Structure 1
């Protein structure tokens, strides 16, 4: 079962996490602060983390509720990073099993990975092809979109 006690005892800078409803330990609300010295700096990005009933054997899903424009975030808001992919071999051969979900991952390690993802997108395997293409081919336009979203997220927070 997911637990908030570790995060309460030793909070980590850059995000906050807690239950959406005290009666449902499988649904968490997350706020990620845009990492300093990135395009996302100054933004407050709300997300939900949903744990499956077979957690920790299978990974939770993390989905941004706040608008997010990033090569590794689907247009629906769902985050696509290796540690949130089911355990085992990748049928496409892109990821090694060691890069995928293992039960040792915690809410903290997931959110640290998401903060790292915001700092350095992986455009080799994009979830949002439009964002990845714009990041590679028209960085000034990509930057402008992301900074506009960051400003809006801070105003809405």
Structure 2
């Protein structure tokens, strides 16, 4: 069996397990029934794109809904340690154990992102303006986030 066939089989198994035991406040499914490597889901829509050498390398996650968060780039890409390639961080910020490991599953990714959304890491922001507002004007940060939630519900 090829590595690509093994990764597709692993993803099918993990997605089936996630549908049986969903993460509270999160739902996921295939973005396209013909492509096991792209999952879509969540209250805020996000796309999880897996490489064909998964689980050796991490997927990428990008919110397609509007987001205002210190750890989400303005284009929606999620910046979280477990989605960074395995090994040592060339800047020395992240420990190798915090980065991608092949033991991570769709469920651990989702749990980590849900945790990140509720508890931002503003020490290494992807969105500097959101991090600054989170630190310096938390009341405005929360107001802006509530407005985005309302907009998402209406949309």
Q: TM-score, normalised by structure 1?
A: 0.89
Q: Can you list the C-alpha shifts for 1:54-88, whole angstroms capped at 9, x where unaligned?
A: 11100000100110100000000000000000000
CA distance in 2, matches of 1:92, 1:58: 19
Q: Which residue of the partner structure matches residue 142 of structure 2?
A: 143
Q: Secondary structure at the match of 1:78?
A: coil
CA distance in 1, matches of 2:118, 2:45: 17
CA distance in 1, matches of 2:23, 2:113: 13
Runs of 4+ in structure 1 displaced over 4 angstroms?
Answer: none
Structure possessing the higher relative contact order (Cα contacts under 8 Å, 6 or more residues apart): 1
Q: Which residue of the partner structure matches residue 47 of structure 2?
A: 48
Q: Which residue of the partner structure matches residue 96 of structure 1?
A: 95
**Count of aligned residue pairs for this structure pair:** 144
Q: Which runs of 5+ in 1 are unaligned?
A: 32-43
Q: TM-score, normalised by structure 2?
A: 0.90
1:20 CA drift (Å):
1.1
Alignment of 1:1-157 (within 5 A): 1=7, 2-3=11-12, 4-31=15-42, 44-156=43-155
Q: If each structure's helix is expressed as a fraction of its own residues, which one has the higher value? A: 2
Q: Secondary structure at the match of 1:80?
A: coil
CA RMSD of aligned residues (A): 0.9
